[in-house]
Structure 1
């Protein structure tokens, strides 16, 4: 368990182009101090290249596109399909500070829950909310807070199933699997999450995806702009997901 936590921490740090750029800049400074000018120059060029490349929206689009485009046959069609359940995977909820409840949910959480509400209204299918004690405050269960939000939006408590277990995507899917046996389910999660969730799913189950929280909306095209902080963050999200996919293949 400790090894996995260490690997996760390393992956989070390496997933940030900004952190990588600063790392190579620091290495360049060290080599310069040691009078190893060639090595220093190489590290400095790497630092600048990483910062320039991954601050370009075009590059962010290119690395995000494969993640956000699942097989068309697995994308849910509300006009043609009526699922038995709607499963909303957890994202995050901020437990710190004196802030309004809606502000505690991250963008990905709000989009997933809003889409679950709209899909429930259209199809009448009950909603499963998942996610356990992985927040800053261990006493708070994510799924319970997500269910509270859906109830406040107007979803009847009888149409909500709370599975307050799981601290990772794999654990969440494991704990809901018994509920889904012999049932059809539409899974609502972020678009970058599709590939990994598909790999983790029990393929004997009948499921489709309804992705939200898209970070890119068009076919990748080639263009250059001024460096963009938004592109750096989008690149970070993509790299994190690729690291998570690699972990799935290596350890699961």
Structure 2
């Protein structure tokens, strides 16, 4: 129940739904009340914010604080020479349509995470890929869909493990801890999510080695029309910045404890077999 409440509240607090609610409220004031000045002011604010949040310099300035420590790929980081036996790829957006190409079932940030995980696997062929993420309303889990994509790209099935019960990052850390304990591992997730994710694993005394994927905040040159024309792509960057801010705030105030996931005696091998 707490998980669903968190998702619904966060959904309404995201920039697009929130600004649309403000805009419709402003229209209601303009059409049905005498509060014309208030309605005009609210509508102006909503439209201005919808515009500037879709401009690259604004959006990426908002996003950069969550990504600035993770702009460099894994090989360029200080601890990139450490031997690892596990690569943990955190789940994200997905759907499941068996008629689609496997990669088409990974939405938004998920495909980039899996692609980076597979790339790192080929650099560390003795490692095992661990995919996390629950099923939600789909037939199979995010972890299983990700494993299917990895296997379609040539990763052997016996080199993938799926942890299909976690619903969020805290539960992902809990399940990975049960599986590999304190062994070092590569932690693959979106660059803007990595700081928050790493904190969950470190809180359990684990040894993650960060491997950022899907860097979004652009610091390299762009054409003027790419920077200053409002774009849905850059509005999404603003949304991602706000999402991570809300997530960090929740992480700082949420009581710590053991997430209620699969029982301790459940064999993770069953998840591994389902991914084959």
Task: Place the TM-score, normalised by the shorter chain, in its bin.
Answer: 0.7 to 0.9
Give the structure 2 partner of residue 146 of structure 1: 146
Q: Distance in 2 between matches of 1:190 and 1:73?
A: 12
Q: Distance in 2 between matches of 1:155 and 1:177?
A: 23
Q: Please give the residue correspondences for 1:20-169 in structure 2 after superposition, counting only pairs within 5 Å.
A: 20-32=18-30, 33-70=32-69, 77=77, 80-96=81-97, 98-124=99-125, 125-134=127-136, 136-137=137-138, 139-169=139-169
Q: Distance in 1 between matches of 2:134 and 2:6?
A: 21
| Post-superposition CA distance 1:21-40 (Å, at most 9, x none) | 32222222222221112212
Measure how far apart 1:98 and its partner are: 4.1
Measure how far apart 1:201 and its partner are: 1.5
Q: Identify if the C-alpha distance between structure 1 residues 74 and 195 changes in structure 2 by more than 3 Å, giving closer, same or farther.
A: farther
Deviates more, 1:47-56 or 1:188-197: 47-56
Report runs of 4+ in structure 1 exceeding 3 Å deviation. 71-79
- Verify the 8 A CA contact 2:74 2:80 in the aligned structure 1: no
Give the structure 2 partner of residue 232 of structure 1: 235
Measure how far apart 1:60 and its partner are: 0.6
Q: Identify if the C-alpha distance between structure 1 residues 26 and 140 changes in structure 2 by more than 3 Å, giving closer, same or farther.
A: same
TM-score with structure 2 setting the length: 0.79
Q: Distance in 2 between matches of 1:199 and 1:97?
A: 35
- Verify the 8 A CA contact 1:65 1:219 in the aligned structure 2: no
Q: SS of the counterpart of 2:120? A: helix
TM-score with structure 1 setting the length: 0.86
Measure how far apart 1:72 and its partner are: 8.6
How many residue pairs get aligned? The number is: 247
Residue of structure 2 aligned with 1:244, choices 243, 247, 253: 247
Gaps of 5+ in 1: none
Q: Identify if the C-alpha distance between structure 1 residues 118 and 43 changes in structure 2 by more than 3 Å, giving closer, same or farther.
A: same
Q: Distance in 2 between matches of 1:214 and 1:94?
A: 22
| Structural RMSD (CA) | 2.7
Measure how far apart 1:178 and its partner are: 2.3
Q: Identify if the C-alpha distance between structure 1 residues 179 and 141 changes in structure 2 by more than 3 Å, giving closer, same or farther.
A: same
Give the structure 1 partner of residue 214 of structure 2: 213
Give the structure 1 partner of residue 260 of structure 2: none
Measure how far apart 1:75 and its partner are: 5.6
Is residue 2:8 matched to residue 1:9?
A: yes
| Post-superposition CA distance 1:54-84 (Å, at most 9, x none) | 1211111111101112379996648522212
- Verify the 8 A CA contact 1:189 1:212 in the aligned structure 2: yes
Measure how far apart 1:230 and its partner are: 1.6
Give the structure 2 partner of residue 177 of structure 1: 177
